[in-house]
Homo-oligomer: A and B are copies of this chain.
């Protein structure tokens, strides 16, 4: 079984990736190496800079992932800074910003970008998206982060009202991981 490093400090992300990639006989190993995340307008730019910082230090195939919630009527806010915004103004802050915004205009998108790098090869990017809308109040207690505010398209429940397995069918990270898995299988 091949081994692939996932550079992350987030245990939950690591477990999700492990479960996904074991299906194509790849063993994911979590490495908490740390890398600078830049201020940028896109997840791709953040991931690209991270890869550039790591590629001279890591001597074998690795990947990293960055994700965010992009709310259309707020010009993409909180986007690349979703984690910081969650830790400062929180879910109630997001609801306050959307107080006057009707349901029809509360569209949002969860995005995940995976950057994959092998020594001496160009890096590859895999993007996963999940469209949906922001609720009028917090709903549900499962998941984490913005899950209580986000209802995926063609659904009536928030991510926080779903079991992990159901959520992962729609999830942005599930989708970027699927693309990575497909890429790795085709290379064999």
Contact = CB atoms under 8 A, between A and B. Distances in A.
Per DSSP, chain A at the interface is: mixed
List the 10 shortest-distance A-B pairs measured between CB atoms, nearest first. A77-B88, A75-B88, A37-B39, A36-B38, A96-B96, A77-B89, A81-B81, A96-B97, A93-B97, A74-B89
A182 to B, nearest CB: 30
A184 B49 CA distance: 35
A interface, how many residues as a size bin?
20 to 34
A76 B85 CA distance: 10
Contacts of A37: 38-39
17 contacts: A36-B36, A36-B38, A36-B39, A36-B49, A37-B38, A38-B38, A39-B39, A39-B46, A39-B81, A75-B87, A75-B89, A77-B85, A77-B88, A77-B89, A79-B88, A89-B97, A96-B99
Interface in A39-54: 39, 46, 49
A122 B60 CA distance: 35
A84 interface: yes
A97 to B, nearest CB: 5
Nearest to A100: B96
Nearest to A76: B88
